[in-house]
Structures are given as C-alpha cells and as structure tokens.
Structure 1
C-alpha cells in the first residue's frame, strides 16, 4: 500500500487541479460574449472572470440556501456545520475555473500565465486543506462524544487530541505534496533526505520515541483515564491528573505530583482501583477477638458499625466474615464499599474508631501479644 502512495496522491491532486480540459466547454458557453470583444484579449479575459464571479456567486447562493433550508429541518447540528464549511472551497473552485480561463485569454507571457494559474491552484489547495481539517475535527468530535458512551470505541474523549493531530498532519502532508507537484518540484530528494533524517532522529531520540509510542498505546487502549486512582508496581498510589504523549502524572495522597514516563507505565503492572463496572472500592477492616467471645454478637456489632457509617453506601451491602482461628484470637473481617478509592483512608479511620469504642462498651476483648518475664533467681549480693 505504501509503495503506491505517490500514485494515490497524484489522484488526489486531480481533485484540486483546475478544470483545464473543461475550459473549452466554458468558453463555448461564453462564445457570444467573447465574439462581442473579438480581437480584444484583455476585455475577453476580464469578461470571463466577471461572468464566472456572478455565476459562482448566484449558483452557490442558490444551492447552499436550499441545502440550509433542508438541514434546518433536522435535529442534528452536524449537517449545518459541515454545510458552512463546504461553501468556501466549492465557491472558490468555481471561481478558479473561470479565473484560469480568463488568464489564459489575456496577452500575458507564458511564464506569468503559468505562475498565476499555479497560484490559483495553490490557493485552492490551501482552502480545501483548511476545510478538510475542520471537517475531520468535527467528525472526530462526533465519533468521540456522540452515541452510547458505554460502547468501547477507539476514538474516545481522552484519545480525541491524538487522532485530531494525526488527521491534521496527514491532511497537511497531502496538501504540501500536491502543492509541490503543482509547481513541478521533484520530491524524490526531499523524501530521501527526510528518510535519512528520520533514521538519525530515531536513534538519537530512542527513549523519547519509546515514551511517545507508549503514550499512543495508552491513549488508544485506555487502561486508565484522568481521575482514576492507580497503583504501580512499587505500591506508588495516586490520582491520574494528566495523560500526555510523553508521561503520565499522578497526585499522591501527600499532594505530591509524580511524573512517570509512559514507557515505564506501558511495561509495568498497573492496578486501576477506579476501574471495573463502577468506581466503588471495597475496603477490609480486620479485627480479632479473644477466644470465648460470642461470635454472633461480634457479627452484629460489626454490621451495625458499617450500617451507621455515612461513608459506607447501602448498596452493595456490607458483610462480615469469620476468617480464621488465630494463634490467640478469632479473626474477623468487615467488608464494605466506598463510593471511590479516595475515601479509603478516611473511612477506615472512622470504622476502626467505631469498632474499638463498641467493643469497649460491650466488654469484648481484643487480644494482643503479651510477654511474661520470670526471674529464675536474684543476683547474689
């Protein structure tokens, strides 16, 4: 496919080229007017330009007025925006046809005539390039923000800047290629030089390119998004505040910003605590009671503590599990959910405090390690 790219670009160039072989048809329609100025090339050229200007203005006004009336009947604003963008390049394409025919009629030197026509073509390419950039941006925004947000899509709000920049780069590259072809500039040497420079830059900026490609894959795959709480391999935990092409930034619980290169993020195990079907996060309160304690009473107290805590939602319901017979305690675990991982520390603090107070009120012993010291004999004096 890439080997045939120049051929495809040449085909695209034809879309922007003035209708050279159709100028004869235009001049046939204007034959009576040209006959009136027979033998006077300057008035003939100016007449062709003037008639083309009037024709293009009236035709574009009528067509786009009709289309605007039709699009106003729809509920979507997408067709209105696309219609507004399409009018300038189409209007200019009509003008370019007549102006090129008028310049050909004028008694100018061949070199100046070529320069003027090449200038018309170049201006047309630039106008179409700007229009296509705007159209691509609107379409990408529609793909990213429109439709059902639960669907998995490659183009998402967080990947929109990436695809927007790539589309702009491709459109501008094609436009530059067409302009070079219009002016007869051989791009073989330019492409060869660009390839050599690209190889040199690739070796010199190996780490930067690794971060760049990792950033592209992160934006496309979206293992995490801005606002998620993630845990890295080294137990570094924080809230994602920025995902760039080079690095990812986190804010830790100590309000310290950590910048991690994307190459490391792409090759590390990342735990997204905000991922899954909902942003809720489960916490575990582990507590041990002395042997002989009424386990039903412990279960009721732990459930009551969880139900009375405002930071613990009602759904999913909290639960208590009797985990193990410990060396010196019966080990229980209170499992409950919080709305987002950011509340983990605050909720654990309140639950631990409430459990300790209730156990004290109910005279439930929380065993702890004890060491007894026996003196075998006192030193002799």
Structure 2
C-alpha cells in the first residue's frame, strides 16, 4: 500500500506542476487565445505537437537572422571565410532551438522515458556544436596561415594546431556529455589517469613516435617534396609526414617508412633546404704539362652546354691542388633538383671525357714500368 501511495504521489506531482504552469500562463494570454490554450491544456499530445512546430519555426527564424541580420551588421558577408563560418553555424543553431523545443514537448507529454529522450536531445545539440567548432577551427587556421601581409600562423605548424584544437574541442564536448547524462567526470578522469599510465608503459615506443611527430611538424626540418639524407644511410624524397612515421621514396622507387622516434634523433641533411639550387662537384685530374687555361675552358664548356645546369650561378672551375701524378680540377655546377645529381654528373663526366680526347688532353692513370736487368741464361 505504501508503494502504491508513493507511485500515486510521483505521478500526481508532474500533473500538478503542469497544471500550475498552465494556470500561470493563462494570466498572460489574451482573451482571444484562451479557448485554444484551454484545448491544448486538456490534450497534452496536441500541446507538445504545437510546441514542436513553434520551435521549428523559431529555429528557422534564428537561422535566417544569423545569416542575414548579424552578417550584415558585423560585415562578415564580405569575406568568403566568414560566409563559410556562418554556414557551419546554421545547423547547430537550428538544432539547438528545435531540439530544445522537442525537449519541452517531451516534458509536457510526461512519458515514461522522457528523461532519457531529453538527454538524447541535449547530447545531439552538444554533438552538433562540437562538429561545427571543429570545422570552424580548421577554417580559421587555413585563413590565418595564408600568405598575406598579416600572417599569424606558419603553414608548417598548421597540422599541429589543427590536431590540438580538435583534441581540446572533443575533450570539452565529452565533459559536457558526461554532465548531461549525470556521470561524475572526476571519477572518469581519475580512472583515465590510471589507465593512461598503463597504456604509457605498454606503448612507450608508439608514444615516443607520436611526440616526435609533433616536434617534427613544429620544428619543420624538412617538408613534403624535400630530398634528405640521414646518417643511418637512408636517402630519398619525402613523400609523407605523419604523426607516427615519415615515408621516403628512394631513387630505386622504393618507399621507406621510418619511425619519427628514429628520424628525430638522426642527423638530417636536407639537400632541398638551401636558399637556392643544389651544387654538384665534378673532380677530374689532368697530366702535368697540360695547358691549364685550355683545361679550364673545356670544363666550363661542358658545364654551360648541359641544358639542366643553371645559368645563375654560372658554372665555375677551380684548380684545387697538385696530386702525385695529376693536376686536380673541380667543375662546380648548380642544378635545380637534388634527385638529378647522379644523372647530370654522368652526363658531365661523359662530355668532359669526349672534350679531353678531342683536344688531346691526357687524363693520367696508374702506370707501372717493368725493367729487366738481365735475361736468364739459356739452358742450351
């Protein structure tokens, strides 16, 4: 009997609260609307339907107000970036107003799972704002990193800021979702801290690669398209930079995946990181007695006639030293792409050899002279 009385009391409280609310609203409504309002108060389903329709119209009006009036007053419609930001806000603004009205409609109906439905609606509102915030943060970073007079964010650090902003938005949204469902976030945070320690010990190599990826993106020792050499022997063109690994494409068209933890601690030679083109050096020796002026002219001719050698800076020739059996010359040329170093060096070596042969310039090589002091005596 006590349970039946308690249940009866629990069912009567919402009805009394709802009736009191309706009586209070009757005081503020005009006389022409009272008959319709009394009909609604007697039929909760009809009242909830009218509330949903009213908030749907209100949501459409708020969306139009945000697009037209606020955009014109603040002057955001002049920029395409701001127009896109307003478009991203259309959906969450409409969902917020409409779903809030649906929650009121569910409350008026006073159904058994009303609280659960209300929590679901507020969770959808939070999710819509999280999605819009992520899109707007990405849009703002793109706008701030563009080449302009007032560039605030370096384009190399955009992926780092983008990931950080998304993580912050997701954490804040998750915290709000926990509050909506009545879950204590403090207990979850404590549990997450203990689980984080366990995961950190179990996946320390993965976390090391992850943090190294952050530092590589922030420090930017290389970028996609650069040609780099590592002290571990890898050499190739950077084709992808991830948070866990970096991929290189070698001259053999083989892709190498290197963990960021390894590459962050390696000595990196970035052949594409200089202020201008890449210099190559051709070392050649000529015999003593050769005309050094003629040798210099032929070497310059070989460099200037190659179509892929840069005209500025011009090729240069230097006599570097006097070897044991040769005069050591260097032909220095500049090329545009580091990956063409081997092929262009081959072309220059072939051209130099032909020019030297044409002008009878000797390229010394190791020789041995054998002297026979005495022929052995004949056995006959």
TM-score, normalised via structure 2 length:
0.81
1:267-346 correspondence runs (5 A)? 267-278=265-276, 280-346=277-343
Match of 1:256 in 2: 254
Q: Alpha carbons of 1:151 and 1:54: their partners in 2 closer, same or farther (altered >3 Å)? A: closer
SS of the residue 1:223 aligns to: coil
SS of the residue 1:328 aligns to: coil
Q: Alpha carbons of 1:150 and 1:123: their partners in 2 closer, same or farther (altered >3 Å)? A: closer
Q: Alpha carbons of 1:209 and 1:62: their partners in 2 closer, same or farther (altered >3 Å)? A: closer
- Does residue 372 in structure 1 map to residue 375 in structure 2? no
1:21-100 correspondence runs (5 A)? 31-32=29-30, 33=33, 36-38=36-38, 40=42, 42=44, 43-66=46-69, 74=78, 76-100=79-103
1:201-212 correspondence runs (5 A)? 201-212=199-210
SS of the residue 1:241 aligns to: strand
Aligned-pair distance for 1:271?
A: 0.2
Match of 2:7 in 1: none
Measured in 1, the distance between the counterparts of 2:242 and 2:28 equals: 58
Deviations 1:144-184 (A, max 9, x none): 4x22499795443xx65554444333322221210110121
Of 224, 227, 230 in structure 2, the residue corresponding to residue 226 of structure 1 is 224
Deviations 1:8-31 (A, max 9, x none): xxxxxxxxxxxxxxx99x969974
CA contact under 8 A between 1:34 and 1:44: conserved in structure 2? no
Q: Alpha carbons of 1:151 and 1:330: their partners in 2 closer, same or farther (altered >3 Å)? A: farther
Unaligned residue ranges in structure 1 (runs of 5+): 1-22
CA contact under 8 A between 1:41 and 1:107: conserved in structure 2? no
RMSD of aligned residue pairs (Cα, Å):
3.1
Aligned-pair distance for 1:273?
A: 0.6
Match of 1:18 in 2: none
Aligned-pair distance for 1:129?
A: 1.4
Match of 1:363 in 2: 360
CA contact under 8 A between 1:302 and 1:320: conserved in structure 2? yes
CA contact under 8 A between 2:245 and 2:258: conserved in structure 1? yes
Q: Alpha carbons of 1:107 and 1:203: their partners in 2 closer, same or farther (altered >3 Å)? A: closer
SS of the residue 1:185 aligns to: coil
Unaligned residue ranges in structure 2 (runs of 5+): 1-20
Higher-Rg structure is 2
Deviations 1:171-224 (A, max 9, x none): 222212101101211123322221111111111111121111112211222211
Measured in 2, the distance between the counterparts of 1:172 and 1:34 equals: 47
Deviations 1:238-257 (A, max 9, x none): 12222222222222222333
SS of the residue 1:37 aligns to: helix
CA contact under 8 A between 1:126 and 1:175: conserved in structure 2? yes
CA contact under 8 A between 2:227 and 2:271: conserved in structure 1? yes
CA contact under 8 A between 1:211 and 1:246: conserved in structure 2? yes
Deviates more, 1:85-94 or 1:38-47: 38-47
Aligned-pair distance for 1:143?
A: 3.5
TM-score, normalised via structure 1 length:
0.81
Q: Alpha carbons of 1:221 and 1:91: their partners in 2 closer, same or farther (altered >3 Å)? A: same
Match of 2:147 in 1: 147
Match of 1:216 in 2: 214
User: How many residues are treated as equivalent by the alignment?
Assistant: 351
